[in-house]
Amino acid sequence: ASNMTSSGHGVQISASGVTLDLMGFALTGDRGATDNGVWLIGQTNAPLRGVVVRNGSVGNFGVGIRADQVEGGRIEQIASFSNSAHGIQFYSSYGRCNDMAIRDCVIVGNANYGIYLYGHTGQCVGNRITDSVISRNGDYGILLYGSSGRCDGNTISGCTISGNGTTGIHFFSPFGQCDGNMVVDSVIIGNATYGIFLNGSSGLCN
């Protein structure tokens, strides 16, 4: 019903089928490095399903929106800004963050990465980032990081990715794989080092 501030995590969701509608309001923190504005918390063998976060802004946390072990959900019409680490992060240690949608979002001015898909010993597969603006983040605009897991079959479409501190989109797969990803109908301009960087390292980027 109004703007909210928090000195720790903002909202934590640990059940499937939940919709968090911010109703156009702002959720803001105190830039605590370990705080998450909205934290979706699934389990390795029991991922959350069908969670939706929409319609508002999240800023000044460590990570604006973090999803651990979540499938088939949506993040839409969200502004994630001025967080001390990342705007949106999917994390899948030994589990999976698959078939998620990020759409019609503005991810601006975060200290490290705009959007971070981290398939650490797990899966970040089949996610879609569409019709979003990812700009002026301190490091990568979007990082798909296979690590020792998989970041496969993800799609980035209809996005504007500009003015980020290093690379616009970085596919990185040390000891893992970032295979079969697509970048479609997007504008990638004015990033400090590379527009798109495919880095197979000791893994695969096919």
For the record, the structure tokens of 81 come out as 């800004």
The answer to whether residue 125 scores a pLDDT higher than 90 is yes
State how far the alpha carbon of 12 is from the alpha carbons of 8, 9, 174, 192, in Å. Answer: 11, 7, 31, 35
Express as a percent the part of the chain with pLDDT over 90: 96
Residue 199 is predicted with a pLDDT of 95
> What is the token pair recorded at 204?
């695969």
Structure-block tokens of residue 120: 């650490």
| Residue 66 · residue 38 · CB < 8 Å | yes
The pLDDT assigned to 136 comes to 98
Q: What is the pLDDT of the chain when averaged over all its residues?
A: 97
Q: What's this model's pTM, rounded to 2 decimal places?
A: 0.97
pLDDT tens figures, 174-186: 999 999 999 999 9
| Residue labelled with tokens 């990185």 | 172
Rounded mean pLDDT, 54-72: 98
Both tokens of residue 166?
Answer: 């290093």
What are 11's two structure tokens? 């909202």
Contacts of 192 (CB under 8 A, 6+ apart): 164, 165, 166, 167
Residue found by looking up tokens 């003015």 in the block? 163
pLDDT tens string 10-40: 999 999 999 999 999 999 999 999 999 999 9
pLDDT score for 193: 97
Using pLDDT thresholds of 50, 70 and 90, give the confidence band for residue 93. confident
In whole angstroms, what is the distance from residue 183 CA to residue 159 CA?
A: 9
* Token output for 101: 């949608």
Largest pairwise CA distance in the chain: 50
Rounded CA separation 200/68 (Å): 25
Query: Above 90 in pLDDT, residue 140?
Result: yes
* Res 145 pLDDT > 90: yes
Q: pLDDT above 70 covers what percent of the chain?
A: 100
Non-local CB neighbours of 84 within 8 Å, separated by 6+ positions? 31, 32, 33, 60, 61, 62, 110, 111
